[in-house]
Structure 1
Amino acid sequence: MSSSLAGAFAVAALFVAVLALVFAIQALRARTAPPARPAAPAPTPEPEPETHPEPKPGTVKSELRKLTKDLTSTRADLKLALQHLAVVRYDAFGDTGGKLSWSMALLDDNGNGVVLTSINSRADARTYAKEIKTYTSDSKLSPEEQQALQSLQPTTD
């Protein structure tokens, strides 16, 4: 299961849990409410205005509106999170084995993020970071960095 799908399931589960909590609070309020007064004759209904007024605070409708706004905001924030990852391992030098060098691309949904590279030899290791904007970099990318970046680009079928 991908991390974005797991995140969507987590947000949906949170939404359902909060909704259940709102219903439980409403049921508890109804149970502890003072006894109802005798019913007065119902006034004649007025025509509904064209605009939808904001529901009373604390009602299920107002809580659902708040949750909908929060969910929309969370989805927008999730698109900006570095959630797409690709790693390419390789041997940078002929005298070392085990594919100890690596390039890793970390991107958000818009293709913005960073490519990290660690080149390891027997004597030392060097690490590089290159900024990525819309799946491209102003810095020259190595073939391994390009491979990691290309594996995250959306395919156009």
Structure 2
Amino acid sequence: MSSTLAGAFGIAALFVAVLALVFAIQALRGQTGTPKTPAAPPVVPQPEPEQAPQPEPKPGTVKSELRRLSKELEAARGEMRETLQHLAVVRYDAYGDMGGRLSWSMALLDDKGDGVVLTSINSRNDARSYAKEVKAFESDTKLSPEEEEAIETLRKEATPLPTNPEQP
């Protein structure tokens, strides 16, 4: 097989993998009901009864701007927890007759362990790509050892979500 043909197969495999990623993300958004519009800022907890409520600062003051920015920061933090921001890639030789670790599995997950695992298996004659949904670091679909390794890498790196986040 010529290097030009092998390069064309590689580009085609990469294109299919990117398409699978786009479709998987769209499917995840559709299943989880993620709104396409920005989320409303979180509700600010009411002060405890012992504390006297603080008066609302005048608009345009430093204090009012700090409160507004604090609310925006909390909303951004909430949105970040749902983005596919954690990535792990495992490269391997899928077949004994090929070297170079051209096959790969890639896990893309959010803070809760939800996301997708993409796999591209390359042989001398073709390349196949797969996308599998992941929820809470688990998948309903049978995973290959390499896919499990990619997910396990992210599970070990995951930081538990705070149960009582500090208020700014």
TM-score (norm. length: structure 2): 0.61
Query: Residue 120 of structure 2 corresponds to which residue in structure 1?
Result: 118
Letter in 2 for 1:117: T
Structure 1 residue ranges, 4+ long, deviating more than 4 angstroms after superposition: none
TM-score (norm. length: structure 1): 0.65
Query: Residue 109 of structure 1 corresponds to which residue in structure 2?
Result: 111
The structural deviation recorded for 1:96 is 1.2
The structural deviation recorded for 1:146 is 0.5
CA distance in structure 2 between the aligned counterparts of 1:53 and 1:66, rounded to whole angstroms:
15
The structural deviation recorded for 1:50 is 2.9
Query: Residue 100 of structure 2 corresponds to which residue in structure 1?
Result: 98
Structure possessing the higher radius of gyration over alpha carbons: 1
CA distance in structure 2 between the aligned counterparts of 1:71 and 1:63, rounded to whole angstroms:
12
The structural deviation recorded for 1:117 is 0.1
CA distance in structure 1 between the aligned counterparts of 2:90 and 2:52, rounded to whole angstroms:
58
**Which structure is higher in RCO with an 8 Å CA cutoff and minimum separation 6?**
2
CA distance in structure 1 between the aligned counterparts of 2:75 and 2:96, rounded to whole angstroms:
50
Structure 2 stretches of 5 or more lacking a match? 1-50, 160-168
The structural deviation recorded for 1:130 is 0.3
Query: Residue 64 of structure 1 corresponds to which residue in structure 2?
Result: 66
CA distance in structure 2 between the aligned counterparts of 1:55 and 1:137, rounded to whole angstroms:
49
Which is worse superposed, 51-60 or 100-109?
Answer: 51-60
Q: How many residues align?
A: 108
CA distance in structure 2 between the aligned counterparts of 1:65 and 1:140, rounded to whole angstroms:
48
CA distance in structure 2 between the aligned counterparts of 1:99 and 1:135, rounded to whole angstroms:
25
The structural deviation recorded for 1:154 is 3.4
CA distance in structure 1 between the aligned counterparts of 2:52 and 2:154, rounded to whole angstroms:
47
Structure 1 stretches of 5 or more lacking a match? 1-48
CA distance in structure 1 between the aligned counterparts of 2:80 and 2:112, rounded to whole angstroms:
11
Letter in 2 for 1:132: V
CA distance in structure 1 between the aligned counterparts of 2:128 and 2:102, rounded to whole angstroms:
12
Query: Residue 137 of structure 1 corresponds to which residue in structure 2?
Result: 139
Letter in 2 for 1:111: G
CA distance in structure 2 between the aligned counterparts of 1:102 and 1:87, rounded to whole angstroms:
7
CA distance in structure 1 between the aligned counterparts of 2:150 and 2:156, rounded to whole angstroms:
13
Q: Percent identity over the alignment?
A: 67
- Partner secondary structure for residue 67 of structure 2: helix
